[in-house]
Amino acid sequence: MLLLNNAIYRFGTLVKGSIIELIRMIRLVYLAFLLHAWLNTCYATYINYIESAEYVPTNFSNVLLYDGSCSDCICQAFFSDNSSKYEVINCYTINRTCLLFPQFVSTTKIRINTNSKVISRQTLFSTTASCNNIYSQCGGSGWNGTTNCCSGLVCTYQNAWYSQCLSMVMTTSQSPITATYYDDGRQNTTTSIYWDCCKLSCGWPYKASVTNPARTCAQDGITTIDPNTQSYCNGGSSYLCIDQQPWNVSSTLSYGYAGGFIAGYSEWDWCCACYSLLFTSGAIAGKELIVQVVNTAYTSGNMFVLQVPGGGWGGSSNGCANQFSSNYSWGNQYGGFTDRANCSQLPSFLQAGCYWRFDWFMNAFNPIARFKAVTCPTALTAITGCVRQ
């Protein structure tokens, strides 16, 4: 009987040990399965993208502006807690910002932008039987035909009246994605344009610790005038100088001047300081404008009002009507000119800045930007004579 009891005990111990080992093995296999699934879900997936393109929906509601590389934005859009909310990304490669869109509408414009890449987790191309071949029209004002382009093509916006099917490179990626988040030091701001010919607020002495106040001019717009001279718009004889208008450095970078307001700061902080504006909306999304602030925008939130000839005089007096003869036109009070051809109605020495608005700036209407303080380029301070100390 004792031998039988020992045998039963040893058998029970063996069975118990086997069951524990089996459970342990099942747990290891299960954990390995979960790890495999997690790795495949979070770090390896097929991502479609179109080089040198930009997704432009008609509705920008629920769109997220995100700072980071394309990989960072893919993680945020497709693999984060918010991944179910976003389907398409515009990745602006020159300034490490992205726009995350909650859905992709197949009839929405995709236009050429050499600074952007459209990224999606679904195909962006139509494969329907009825489609337009390469170079065929696929959209535009009054277009009643199909908007679908054949496989390998995308309907590309050219202007308000014409979109055509063009070839875009689409490749897939299955490499691991590692998110690296960082603070780029930028803030959001609104922008607008103006040109009122009045003396600059930063043109007065003692507005900030600077080498000289921002240069203001006599009626000819060229001759530097004493900084204590009152503005014509307030009964004096001082005007905005004609050379303080924007110009493009490259297809993606311009320099210019602006009136500014930064929440929580004052003229002592921003007069003659320079800021980099990275535009995040409209046709110029992804472009950068570096401005020197030489005036003050009287508002309550972050704001940069760009000095652009023919941009309207806004809430100020129109000093231009007195500075120059009545033979010229200055457009609407708010917004100024509405068409590039109107620039020829300005004095010849102001037309370049006006054309800049319709060419490099693409007549963008109050675009949103991300800004931060930068060292002033010498090209800007050489014109105003104002350098912060």
Residue 142, CA distances (Å) to 92, 107, 111 in order: 31, 15, 19
**Cβ 216 vs Cβ 203: under 8 Å:** yes
Write down the catalytic residue from 196, 269, 339, 359.
196
Q: Any catalytic annotation for residue 196?
A: yes
Q: Which one, of 145, 136, 163, 165, lies nearest residue 153 by Cα?
A: 165
- Name the residues annotated as catalytic: 196
